[in-house]
Chain A
Amino acid sequence: MLTCQSLSDDAAAYMDASLPAPRRLRIKAHLLFCPACRRYLQQLKIAMGLARHAATEPPPPEVEERLVSMFRQARRQDPPG
């Protein structure tokens, strides 16, 4: 019988669909009867989504302007003004 602890060891592989079919089926069967593990996997998925939102701090203005200026030169455009 698969335990929650055992399922948690395979969570990353399960979410990336990289488990062999028999193991995947055992996990699916466990999830049918274990709301705690269903919540665990859902929370992992939410955390992964939050990481996408969290890593969006804008660069310092001077860095941004330097990169844009380099871009204009690289694409042979004159800076405005």
Chain B
Amino acid sequence: MHADLSLARKLSAGDAEAFRSLVRAQHHRLILLATGFTQSRAIAEEVVQDAWVVVMENIDAYEGRSALSAWIAGIVVNKARARARKEQRMISFEAMADADGPAIAPEKFAADGHWADGMPAWEVVTPERLLGARQLLRKVAEALEGLPPAQRVAVLLRDVEGLEPAEICRQLDISEVNLRVLLHRARNRLREAADEDLRIK
């Protein structure tokens, strides 16, 4: 959090290059987050721009109680929900947690409930491995972008921005049970996307 407070102080002081770095790091995933509510990419881009304006004008209000990126993501969620309501595009996250089939296809398990394929090992994923892993990261990015909206929002807020479950439930107005269902499904899809590249053959 110390690094985030230091960054916030730079932004307060008008450090445009610090702001540029922040935009480069976070803008795309904020768009992915906003499309989970707005469905339309064009509307999501407007929502995220509006959220950046709130950040620019209110950075002095950031107190470091959460990560800066989580604070910004929360602003996007509020803006996106308000816009979706206005456009009458609201989706029920509760309903989306109930929809869809099982998170893992039943045929992945043997009749006795064990993993049918024994869960083959993956190559070791080191930071060095990641540097050259364009195909792997592209597959995971595509899987992330292809998630149903509610699953994408859940995994972005929890696993990418690091918000606590209770805070996510408050922001999305869903139960913790439904959040877990969304996360379970999303994480399994992301695992399957990575499995193609990382499974030791």
Contact = CB atoms under 8 A, between A and B. Distances in A.
Interface of A: 3-6, 8-9, 11-13, 16, 18, 35-37, 39-40, 43-44, 46-59, 63-64, 67-68, 70-72, 74-77
A19 to B, nearest CB: 10
- The secondary-structure label for the interface of chain B is helix
B113 interface: yes
Contacts, number: 152
A5 B113 CA distance: 5
7 contacts: A39-B120, A40-B115, A43-B198, A47-B194, A54-B144, A63-B45, A70-B53
B32 interface: yes
Contact of A44 (B115, B136, B187): B187
Interface residues of B, number: 59
- The secondary-structure label for the interface of chain A is helix
B141 A55 contact: yes
Contact of B194 (A3, A43, A55, A75): A43
Given A4-B115, A36-B115, A53-B130, A71 B187 contact: no
